[in-house]
Structure 1
């Protein structure tokens, strides 16, 4: 018997002002409903336009668990198609990326589709005469996302044909993307440095929660970042500080640092750490970069761009962006207890190559399958996913610095160790899981 499908009150009851029920992480039925309601009705990141620069270029990915393909159409627009042949259901675009030319060709029966998804041809077409084929679903070609929006080359889609608009969903949170793009003297980014992928044996929300959890770094990462700092402290006086140490050391900042850093929350589950300060604020200057920025923007504007040192920005439901270090992580749900994590790096077009080197080093040190820092978190997720199956305590506490009436003020700047951004995410989760449009 279904516990939640036709019971919005039961879903809503899973989120309290300072608590969430463990079913959000372990219940398989809720996971399926998330794919149908949350991921279908919100704006989900698909990819970056630089991944498909020429007509016919494509890359495959998922929106929730829905297989999609992002492709550059012949008119140079970016399209998002459901990666499924309407004939017998075979995935049309294979691999992770490539160039399909002027059309996609299904590898099973050779049906072909234009890069906007429309049906181009099929073998032995006479066999469909007088069958009503022109009125059936297959004649309409590959299904398309309900809506696609390209914001400064970041491609998002909403699977549902109707729903919240792109602007209403993201609001002021788009300023993080603006800042990351504006760090290029030419105002452009491009994907560079490859992508790192590895599977996590946990629910996707654990990874999202962790992005604004500032009370764990000095504890969970003591064995990795703490060891790196201890080794560095024994280096002879005058030894040049390695780039890796610059990136490791801030993880061991004290609670007081993170409290003063601040957290900003926006409506619909978006928010970021790093308002007044962040772990990315004290990197060594890159020769020539400041001069390029001043030439492009003027000194005052350049200072404003580079002085914005946000730490982690969560774009609900499932990406995190680091503007000052030009990385983006996607948390792809696979099952209730399995999540594929992709970590992408970007080049600031026109900026010194040393910035891309720093970006790629950060990604390898912190986000790679071989990372010592990332595996501190991975161990915590795995322990939590297993332990949440235990009986006796059904509610998880997210009440740190809970303020009365905060649910009525969706946008705020708060103490950097507050769990308000997590509460913001859970409120958005409950809203999209129970709204009339989602149901």
Structure 2
């Protein structure tokens, strides 16, 4: 039975101004439609160009559930190709990263392709003479995705050949990426090793929502961060000695509601937004010796202070990544099923900055986001409890009503509100409905 595939109106009705239907998290049909429409019509993060520094370097990943390859071509440009041989559909590359040289070679029948996807050679090609092969899709080689944009090293792609442009989709939200890159005295980032990865038995949107949920840290993380703070308070630490880096990182998670209320949340059109408009849990980290001097030399005193004074907490780029500018981190929430999400947590080195900044970034990633982390498992337990609880028929709606104004909101404007509002979650689901249904049609879906 299909309730949604031929019915864009039914899909849109799952999102109401102050609540969403549980099917957006648990229904396999909705998940399939997300992969077909939402992840095709939006601009999705693929990778960072420092992961493929040399010609022929590639990484494999996926956009939604579609496997893709990001590769540096012979002209030094980044290309994103569907990881699929046009012959039998075999995945061309299975390693997470490597160097393919000047061409890809299918492991099944040895068809080969240039690193821009163009068909290079077929064994015994005479067997295709006078068959009309040149007019087929297979003759075009490995298919590129619909559109690619390398923005200051961060590579995004849109699967659909037509649709919203990169600049229109992201708009002013790119200011968070700008701030993260500008924190390098040279204006460049480099990925620092492979990401931390671990599996979550929950829907991918739960993780995205949680990035701007500021009413949970002091509750869900009391068992981890709260315990660490209690132990720390019993230590006889000298007042003139800097607080350990680990405590600077973990203690702010126990900040009171008022701290998060006053930090503010900014929402942008198309589902993007960030916490930490005025301050954040990253605002009071200790200064790194020599860093400010490097920034002032690079940007001048006024701009250097302006860059470093911006301490946004979590910036969500819809549909499925979050970045932390002050500590150069990106989390990628890769959907594998309605109740399975692979989380990748990348960290980046600020080129030209002191190494102690990377040390803090790596420590944050291990403490908060690693499979062995202290804090991340608190969130994981909440996600998995929610995934199970949503199968109860007691209530089919999920409430997103905190600081809801009582009337439909305008998500086409940029707004700053109380730091505990759930407006950003409502903003995300407004974008979800928009991009889910923009390419759905009753006749098209029925024909397929």
Do the aligned partners of 1:193 and 1:360 also contact (CA within 8 Å) in 2? no
Tell me by how many angstroms 1:122 deviates: 1.0
Question: Unpaired segments of 5 or more residues in structure 1?
Answer: none
Displacement, 1:105? 0.6
Query: 2:286 aligns to what?
Result: 284
CA RMSD across the alignment: 1.1
**Alignment counterpart, residue 368 of structure 2, candidates 366, 369, 373:** 366
Q: Offset at 1:13?
A: 1.0
- Give the conservation status (yes or no) of the 8 Å contact 1:163–1:437: no
Kindly state the Cα deviation for residue 433 of structure 1 after the two structures are TM-superposed. 1.1
For residues 66-77 of structure 1, what are the structure 2 equivalents within 5 Å?
Answer: 66-77=66-77
- Alignment length (residue pairs): 439
Query: Secondary structure of the equivalent of 1:208?
Result: helix
Q: 1:56 is matched with which residue?
A: 56
How many Å apart are 1:289 and its aligned residue?
Answer: 0.1
Give me the whole-angstrom Cα distance separating, in 1, the residues matched to 2:237 and 2:94. Answer: 55
SS of structure 2 residue aligned to 1:68: strand
Structure-1 residue corresponding to 2:34 = 34
Deviations 1:93-123 (CA, angstroms, capped at 9, x unpaired): 1210000000001111111000000100011
Give the Cα separation in 2 of the matches to 1:205 and 1:276.
Answer: 26
After TM superposition, the structure 1 = structure 2 runs for residues 316-395 of structure 1, keeping only pairs within 5 Å, are: 316-395=318-397
CA distance in structure 2 between the aligned counterparts of 1:45 and 1:142, rounded to whole angstroms: 20
Paired residues of 2:272 and 2:317 also in contact (CA < 8 A)? yes
TM-score, normalised with respect to structure 1: 0.99
| TM-score, length basis structure 2 | 0.97
- The 8 Å contact of residues 410 and 424 in structure 1, kept in 2 or not, is answered as no
Task: Give the CA deviation at 1:222.
Answer: 0.2
In the aligned structure 2, how far is the partner of 1:193 from the partner of 1:45? 18
Aligned to 2:420: 417
Paired with 1:120 and 1:113, the residues of 2 have a C-alpha distance of: 5
Note closer, same or farther for the CA distance 1:188–1:19 as it changes in structure 2 (3 Å cut): same
Answer yes or no: is 1:83 the counterpart of 2:86: no
Runs of 5+ consecutive residues of structure 2 not aligned to the other structure? none
Is 1:435 the counterpart of 2:431? The answer is no
Distance 2:344 2:119 in 1: 32
Give the aligned partner of residue 399 of structure 1: 401
CA contact (8 A) 2:271 2:431 kept: yes
Distance in 1 (CA, whole Å) between partners of 2:16 and 2:128 is 56
Choose 192-201 or 289-298, whichever is displaced more: 192-201
Alpha-carbon shift at residue 240 of structure 1 (Å): 4.2
Instruction: After TM superposition, give the deviation of residue 130 of structure 1 in Å.
Output: 1.3
